[in-house]
Homo-oligomer: A and B are copies of this chain.
Amino acid sequence: MNNVRTLLLSLVLLGPFTNITLAQDVFLNKRASWMAKAESYRPKLTVTPKLPIQLVDVVIDSNAFQDVKAVAKSNISEFYKMQFSKPKSVILDFGEHITGTIKFALSTTGPADSPARLKFTYGEIPADLYYSLDTLKPTITRAWIQDEEVYVDVLPNTIRLPRRHSFRYLKIELLYSVGFTFNFSEVSCAAVSSAGLNKFPDTEQMPSLFKEINKASRNTLKECMQTVLEDGPKRDQRIWIGDFRLQALANYYSFKNFDIVKRGFYLFAATVAKSGLLYGTVFEKPIVRPQEHHPIDYCLLYNTSLLDYYEQSHDLETLEDLWELAKKQVEIVAPHVDEKGLIVLAPTWWSFVDWNASLDKQVSMQGLVISTFESTLKIAKLLKKEHELPKLEGLITKMRKGAKENYLDSQVKLFVSGKDHQVSVASQVWMILGGVVTPNEGRLLLKKINSTSSIKPVSPYMYHYYVEALIKCKMYSEARDFIAKYWGGMIKKGADTFWEVYDPENEFLSPYNSFLLNSYCHAWSCTPVYFLKKYEKELNLKTH
């Protein structure tokens, strides 16, 4: 490494890059071209009109997900006949999860002599329309809750509400009595997505549960495919590297839209920090800009995602164009590996790994860093540039050795993390994915962890990596059965898109202290379609 780089890397250790006014902008000469490429790959949104199919009630049922279910109440034609004058509430069911804007038309017989105030509440799941948030204290803003009050000043009228919402159910309330009567002559949704057509139909022989899992996977991805690969159409409606990698994988085995993936790579690239370290998320509006924090696992998974992309597209040109950026991630993180081969995160970084607040992430991050370093090395070899990271191969070896020596508990025969020697699924998974253990050793870890009390994943995101680990260890029947149990569990609980958070033991779990703020159509949950298609033969679905 040259002197300038050494200087910069030592500055990294001092504090946030953005506060270091001395720091030069490493990719200054690349930003404009990367941004132009991001824009050139912006996908077109397809608009599909959707109509409600029935009226439903939401009722308490202790057998239902979150104790609430939607029950059919009447044919939708009844709704259009309903007269509104006193406060009244109806719930429309659109029959499927959709993302779009609502249009409604109100008819009157005589003149309406006042405004009418309506409330619209959008529900991805029945519980959204049953529980009140008022007793909970969410840790993120309640403004994510999808409800809005609307005045209609003049009737009759046809109104297109401007906000995009993510929902299957729509509650409409007349909040106050009015001195006239009206009815709805239309309620429709202009549903939007950039997904296009699925290019990987299910095989006929596939068992119906897996077909349903595939369908929900594709629906989840489709709903999140907007002008970027959003993490969720309800929340946060933006691109995050961690979600992006998993979406891209599912996309390769469904809509196979390379442009939206390239758009993502270039948006992250164009908004990289001056130091050259990626930010974890990028906003499109009002201008393209990053949220200035560094979830270091996401920064590194960018490289793995580049490798995934090349394996699908064989697009060496993009790989070449982004190589310096990928390399930079390694160059920034590598100096944080200590003499024992263990990664020590800088104080201004953070790591995500999973939404489980109890999880100690030390071991997981060790494995993730090794795994992504390995991806980067593969890219270097594809580009014949391994000489640009001459010490990387040795570092990987050192880190694997360090991990095994320091984190493998010889007594419990599992990797343990942190000063309390925490046993978690995530630690074993990332040791396997980091190649710290052989597939044979990994198989033992995964079997052992299943029969040991441990910290378990709570997000489909972490469970994706669990399935990756099962497959790496050739535990195909376990992988297949786990997909059927976990994602199939959501299907059995009524999901037609997969959820941000799902802990079968605690349906009300929320990283935001309110399950009503969870997203119930979340990109990082959409990967079963990737597994079920890519490993169709190994998972032996036909005869299962």
Shortest beta-carbon distance from A335 to chain B in Å: 28
Q: Which chain A residues in 113-153 approach chain B with CB under 8 Å?
A: 113-117, 140-144, 148-149, 151, 153
Shortest beta-carbon distance from A146 to chain B in Å: 10
The segment from A53-61, A154-162, A363-371 that touches chain B is A154-162
Shortest beta-carbon distance from A363 to chain B in Å: 30
A157 and B286 form a contact (CB under 8 A) = yes
Check A111 for interface membership: any CB of B closer than 8 A: yes
| Residue of B with least CB distance to A152 | B143
B143 and A111 form a contact (CB under 8 A) = no
B116 and A143 form a contact (CB under 8 A) = yes
Proximity string of chain A (262-293) to chain B, C-beta cutoff 8 Å, 1 when within and 0 when not: 00000000000000000000010110011110
Shortest beta-carbon distance from A433 to chain B in Å: 30
**CB within 8 A of A283: which of B111, B176, B290?**
B111
B286 and A110 form a contact (CB under 8 A) = no
Determine the main DSSP class of A at the interface with B: loop
B291 and A141 form a contact (CB under 8 A) = no
Q: How far is the CA of A293 from the CA of B291 in the complex (A)?
A: 60
CB contacts (< 8 Å) of A179 on chain B: these are 140-141
CB contacts (< 8 Å) of A48 on chain B: these are none
A142 and B176 form a contact (CB under 8 A) = yes
Q: How far is the CA of A50 from the CA of B450 in the complex (A)?
A: 69
**CB within 8 A of A154: which of B149, B151, B286?**
B286
Check A236 for interface membership: any CB of B closer than 8 A: yes
Check A384 for interface membership: any CB of B closer than 8 A: no
CB contacts (< 8 Å) of A144 on chain B: these are 114-115
Q: How far is the CA of A144 from the CA of B292 in the complex (A)?
A: 44
Query: Assuming A113-B236, A113-B291, A291-B111, is B285 touching A141 (CB within 8 A)?
Result: no
Q: How far is the CA of A111 from the CA of B291 in the complex (A)?
A: 6
Interface centre among A110, A115, A141, A286 (most CB of B within 10 A): A141
Shortest beta-carbon distance from A116 to chain B in Å: 6
Q: Which chain A residues in 275-314 approach chain B with CB under 8 Å?
A: 283, 285-286, 289-292
| Residue of B with least CB distance to A115 | B143
Query: Assuming A149-B149, A286-B155, is B178 touching A141 (CB within 8 A)?
Result: yes
Interface centre among A142, A144, A292 (most CB of B within 10 A): A142
Check A537 for interface membership: any CB of B closer than 8 A: no
CB contacts (< 8 Å) of A110 on chain B: these are 291-292
Shortest beta-carbon distance from A230 to chain B in Å: 14
Shortest beta-carbon distance from A280 to chain B in Å: 12
B177 and A141 form a contact (CB under 8 A) = yes
Check A419 for interface membership: any CB of B closer than 8 A: no
Query: Assuming A148-B149, A149-B149, A151-B163, is B283 touching A143 (CB within 8 A)?
Result: no
CB contacts (< 8 Å) of A176 on chain B: these are 141-143
CB contacts (< 8 Å) of A156 on chain B: these are 286
Proximity string of chain A (95-122) to chain B, C-beta cutoff 8 Å, 1 when within and 0 when not: 0000000000000001101111100000
Q: How far is the CA of A289 from the CA of B116 in the complex (A)?
A: 19
| Residue of B with least CB distance to A112 | B283
Q: How far is the CA of A117 from the CA of B147 in the complex (A)?
A: 11
Shortest beta-carbon distance from A427 to chain B in Å: 30
Shortest beta-carbon distance from A144 to chain B in Å: 6
CB contacts (< 8 Å) of A140 on chain B: these are 114, 179
Proximity string of chain A (149-193) to chain B, C-beta cutoff 8 Å, 1 when within and 0 when not: 101011111000001000000000001111100000000000000
- Contacts A115-B141, A115-B144 known; list 19 others, CB within 8 Å: A110-B292, A111-B290, A111-B291, A113-B236, A113-B283, A114-B140, A114-B143, A115-B143, A117-B142, A141-B176, A141-B179, A142-B176, A142-B177, A143-B176, A151-B163, A154-B285, A154-B286, A156-B286, A157-B286
A-B contact pairs, 27 of them (CB 8 A): A110-B291, A111-B289, A111-B290, A111-B291, A113-B283, A114-B140, A114-B141, A114-B144, A114-B235, A115-B143, A115-B144, A117-B141, A117-B142, A117-B143, A140-B179, A141-B176, A141-B179, A142-B176, A142-B177, A143-B151, A143-B175, A148-B151, A149-B149, A153-B163, A153-B285, A154-B285, A155-B286
Closest 10 CB pairs of A and B: A142-B176, A117-B143, A115-B143, A154-B285, A114-B141, A141-B178, A149-B149, A154-B286, A141-B176, A143-B176
